Structure 1
């Protein structure tokens, strides 16, 4: 049947498949937040670490599968724009989550050493990605040298984040608006085996949705005459990042503020590995050297957003303009500026 052959899809079929996959990602990604929160309490990982490692990886899985599939099929522009566009839009989503928390600015209420360590790690990883296209275009077994460095830096950074949770060298000042992780009573939590099983099933669902989403996005790009950069930044990156938006707002409303912030920043750090995985899957050289001017500009804007966010977590403004932090407002403006520049170019 033609529906099972992506190469023969029409624009309408591509949009239909894309929409179904986006819906599946939204539902599964929303449910997995609750599971990760319970795993954080059951295992003792803590919300910041669970948000960075478990929630960040889980909600990012569909996007990573899409980027790797696109790179393997010879669509590096889609792979890169999906990966880097996802980091930008998820940072924008954190500003939206700030609007959903009315008691105080999210940067004030959710400040923690692990969250700031995560953001520092994100800045370092993005810097490596910006650096890569300016290095010699050499590969070993079709892999650029920055790729193993990126992977190693991420693993080392997650160890530092765990250390910042277990034995912090300093703590933010506790105020009346600061919210700390308060684990649920063990008697109210499901068994550990059930939680890990549900987590694995939801992860598999997100991965499968990402796998099907790639040919649908390619079809939309081809049939609608849109560049793969536009499709990656505004369609696939946003659709695969919807779980981060839904889960961060849900976590904020449940009072799990550290999980909300950690999930976004941790997901962003994990998303940088899309580039490493895509470089491994790409068989025509270094994927970093396929980055367009638009994508280099997006990385620079995202670096600026991450720097502003970490300054906000340190500054900890309690109340800001329109009930949100000045940092959140700046992040929203920068993201919208990036969208405008992409179309103006």
Structure 2
């Protein structure tokens, strides 16, 4: 059986391809953190905007390609669960980054107006996704009306977030533990053209890995007897979200705390667009109306996690249980609850 033909892959071959793709995503995701951090300094975007837009989109590319491919190939359950599971696990990863940063709670140290606005945008987008299955199952050219609303809301919200970064009407109190964006000396940075070229190549690598990952995940689901929701939430969502974990931990260790938080929250907001893109790719009606009870439960849990996170960014608790934020602990518990309910609910 030729390994180049995805339809002929065995379970063992699919697991091998899946593992290689996950490794490629992890390596490319690690590299792209440094590039985005330098682009933020070179372009003057700032860590919050660069993290939300550039890093968030880049590290989410493999997941978006997977969801769109799955929807186009007639696997809406995998497309939906990968998109929604990715948002949930990436929020969980932010709690892991908080554990890594021992100086203070990450939400205290990296509080900023753009990060809180980005999280507010995420909550609004998730609410639209949760609302869509309860609206009439009407499509125009095979596209549900919520899809253009979702896209428009995202781009308008991103514009507002950039404005909040440039001309903030609110600023967090500066404490001894607060870390702000301190640009590197431009003379020590690579040329802007080189940075953009490297960024584009790494994005292409992440996209290609996501494209190959989809047929491997579909085969694993069918051959191992697992539902596409379980495969999407626990396998593809986690593997395509590895860059968010790696980049957040790497950014924390580099001292780029705002970038670490913005990369996760921005990636989550960008991931909601997986649903819009997948709805366009899905040709058998509205993708939102294929959502299972498990998928809707993950949206509700993620909404709760995002709400807790934004409250943590406003409250800015310096130290919590085990020197991590109380909100980080709550997020980890909620994610674990979601996994348990998926197997027992």
Whole-Å separation in 1 of the counterparts to 2:342 and 2:114? 34
SS of equivalent to 1:251? helix
1:339 alignment partner in structure 2: 339
1:316 alignment partner in structure 2: 316
Q: Does 1:126 align with 2:119?
A: no
1:95 alignment partner in structure 2: 95
4+ long deviations beyond 4 Å? none
Q: TM-score, normalised by structure 1?
A: 1.00
1:291 alignment partner in structure 2: 291
Deviations 1:294-326 (A, max 9, x none): 000000000000000000000000000011000
Q: Does 1:167 align with 2:162?
A: no
Whole-Å separation in 1 of the counterparts to 2:105 and 2:219? 41
1:181 alignment partner in structure 2: 181
Q: Does 1:13 align with 2:24?
A: no
Q: TM-score, normalised by structure 2?
A: 1.00
| 1:214, distance to aligned residue in structure 2 (A) | 0.1
Deviations 1:7-53 (A, max 9, x none): 11110000000000000000001100000000000000000000000
Q: Does 1:259 align with 2:237?
A: no
Whole-Å separation in 1 of the counterparts to 2:117 and 2:310? 9
SS of equivalent to 1:150? helix
| 1:83, distance to aligned residue in structure 2 (A) | 0.2
Whole-Å separation in 1 of the counterparts to 2:276 and 2:2? 33
Whole-Å separation in 1 of the counterparts to 2:304 and 2:63? 23
| 1:2, distance to aligned residue in structure 2 (A) | 1.9
| 1:4, distance to aligned residue in structure 2 (A) | 1.1
SS of equivalent to 1:2? coil
SS of equivalent to 2:309? helix
Whole-Å separation in 2 of the counterparts to 1:277 and 1:34? 28
Count of residue pairs the alignment pairs up:
345
2:237 alignment partner in structure 1: 237
Whole-Å separation in 2 of the counterparts to 1:170 and 1:235? 40
How does 1:1-345 map onto structure 2 within 5 Å? Answer: 2-345=2-345
Whole-Å separation in 2 of the counterparts to 1:286 and 1:56? 26
Deviations 1:245-282 (A, max 9, x none): 01100100111000000000000000000000000000
SS of equivalent to 2:241? helix
Whole-Å separation in 1 of the counterparts to 2:3 and 2:186? 47
| 1:5, distance to aligned residue in structure 2 (A) | 1.1
Whole-Å separation in 1 of the counterparts to 2:31 and 2:4? 28
SS of equivalent to 1:4? coil
Whole-Å separation in 2 of the counterparts to 1:225 and 1:57? 32
CA RMSD in angstroms, aligned pairs only: 0.5
SS of equivalent to 2:3? helix
Whole-Å separation in 1 of the counterparts to 2:30 and 2:83? 20
Whole-Å separation in 1 of the counterparts to 2:321 and 2:86? 26
Deviations 1:99-145 (A, max 9, x none): 00000000100000000000000000000000000000000000000
- Show structure 2 runs of 5+ residues with no match: none
SS of equivalent to 2:318? coil
